[in-house]
């Protein structure tokens, strides 16, 4: 009895301590974000920083996926544009965004600032053709700061290619696999499906092809994921495609700048994929 009382008391103390720590940490994170934003605004050249910081990295992901948790209220168009520009600078060609928030609750629609691909309904390009032209103009006559660095993340032109961006939705997860299953079931008597049923690997390949076709994905599976949330969770992100994706969580509210991006890429470059071996 006495023991139970002591445990309950300790437990409540623990909860209070954790809650207080969490609150202080969040306050610190917001203060830090404010200070970092002002600092970035005043001086820095993200391109030069990323170019120098990431020089000599052993590997870079080809496909980056951003997961925005339902509780996040800091990821907006401005932040996404910033991340897209970092990806463009370092030369990541494909990027997917999975925003789990609802319309009116922070959900960011990529069509607002990205250009829809003419051939695909799901693929966007960033920056849009007109913005890309503007970038080129800025690059040709760009202003140099007193410290010798140039303003803006797209002011120098090592990687001018447009970024290929995909908006992932909840319907692209479990539901899409079920759709593929339904389609296969409807034609289960056909020669193709019967051939797939002879060997499981054939069926796996068949499902994979159909999923990619539906997703409009002619790109590699995402190798790196950044989760913007207070906790790490996939929130149902593409269960078929993210089996080997490295996940990194960026705490909601903390400032995401070129340094944070470089840190994630460093961690990714350091990790060794063994592919079961």
Partner 1 sequence: MSWISDYRYTCLQKLALQTLQLTGRIPNHIAFVMDGNRRFARSKQLDKIEGHTRGFSKLADVLRWCVDLGIKEVTTFAFSIENFKRSNEEVEGLFNLAREKFAKLLEETNRLNEHGIRIRVIGNILLLPEDLQRHIATAMLRTEHNDKLFLNVAFAYTSRDEMTQAVESVLKSDEPADDEPLHPSDINERLLEECLYTRHSPPPDMVFRTSGETRLSDFMMWQLSSSVLYFTDVLWPQITIWNFLASIVAYQCDRCRMERFKRGERLHSAQLAKASEFYSLRVQKFLHRLDANRRKLLIALASN
Residues that bind partner 1 (CB under 8 A): 3-4, 6-8, 10-12, 14-15, 18, 22, 70-71, 100, 173-175, 177-178, 180-182, 184-186, 188, 193, 197, 200, 203-204, 207, 230-237, 239-240, 242-248, 267, 271, 273, 275-277
> CB 57 → partner 1: shortest distance, Å?
17
> CB 162 → partner 1: shortest distance, Å?
29
Nearer to partner 1, 124 or 268 (CB): 268
> CB 126 → partner 1: shortest distance, Å?
26
Nearer to partner 1, 30 or 248 (CB): 248
> CB 275 → partner 1: shortest distance, Å?
6
Nearer to partner 1, 37 or 188 (CB): 188
Residue with tokens 């080809």: 62
Q: How far apart are CA 214 and CA 209, in angstroms?
A: 9
Q: How far apart are CA 164 and CA 95, in angstroms?
A: 6
Q: How far apart are CA 173 and CA 179, in angstroms?
A: 10
Q: What is the DSSP string of 198-261?
A: T-HHHHHHHHHHHHHHHHT--SPPP-EEEEESSS---TT--TTT-TTPEEEEE-TTS---HHHH
Nearer to partner 1, 131 or 234 (CB): 234
Nearer to partner 1, 77 or 271 (CB): 271
> CB 70 → partner 1: shortest distance, Å?
5
Helix (H) or strand (E) holding 18: helix 2-43
Q: How many CA atoms lie within 13 A of 110 on its CB side?
A: 27
């Amino acid at each position: 009895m006495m023991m139970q009382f002591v445990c309950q008391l300790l437990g409540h103390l623990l909860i209070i301590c954790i809650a207080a720590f969490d609150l202080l940490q969040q306050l610190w994170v917001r203060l830090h974000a404010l200070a970092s934003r002002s600092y970035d605004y005043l001086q820095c050249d993200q391109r030069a920083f990323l170019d120098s910081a990431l020089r000599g990295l052993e590997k870079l992901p080809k496909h980056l996926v951003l997961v925005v948790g339902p509780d996040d209220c800091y990821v907006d168009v401005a932040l996404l544009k910033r991340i897209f520009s970092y990806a463009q600078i370092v030369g990541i060609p494909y990027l997917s965004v999975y925003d789990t928030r609802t319309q009116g609750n922070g959900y960011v629609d990529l069509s607002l600032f990205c250009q829809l691909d003419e051939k695909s309904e799901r693929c966007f390009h960033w920056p849009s053709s007109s913005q890309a032209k503007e970038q080129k103009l800025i690059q040709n006559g760009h202003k140099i700061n007193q410290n010798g660095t140039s303003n803006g993340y797209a002011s120098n032109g090592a990687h001018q290619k447009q970024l290929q961006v995909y908006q992932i939705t909840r319907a692209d997860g479990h539901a899409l696999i079920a759709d593929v299953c339904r389609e296969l079931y409807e034609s289960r008597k056909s020669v193709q499906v019967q051939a797939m049923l002879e060997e499981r690997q054939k069926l796996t390949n068949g499902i994979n092809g159909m999923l990619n076709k539906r997703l409009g994905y002619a790109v590699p599976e995402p190798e790196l994921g950044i989760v913007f949330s207070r906790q790490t969770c996939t929130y149902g992100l593409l269960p078929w495609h993210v089996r080997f994706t490295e996940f990194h969580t960026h705490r909601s509210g903390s400032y995401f700048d070129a340094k944070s991006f470089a840190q994630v890429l460093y961690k990714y470059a350091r990790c060794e994929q063994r592919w079961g071996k």
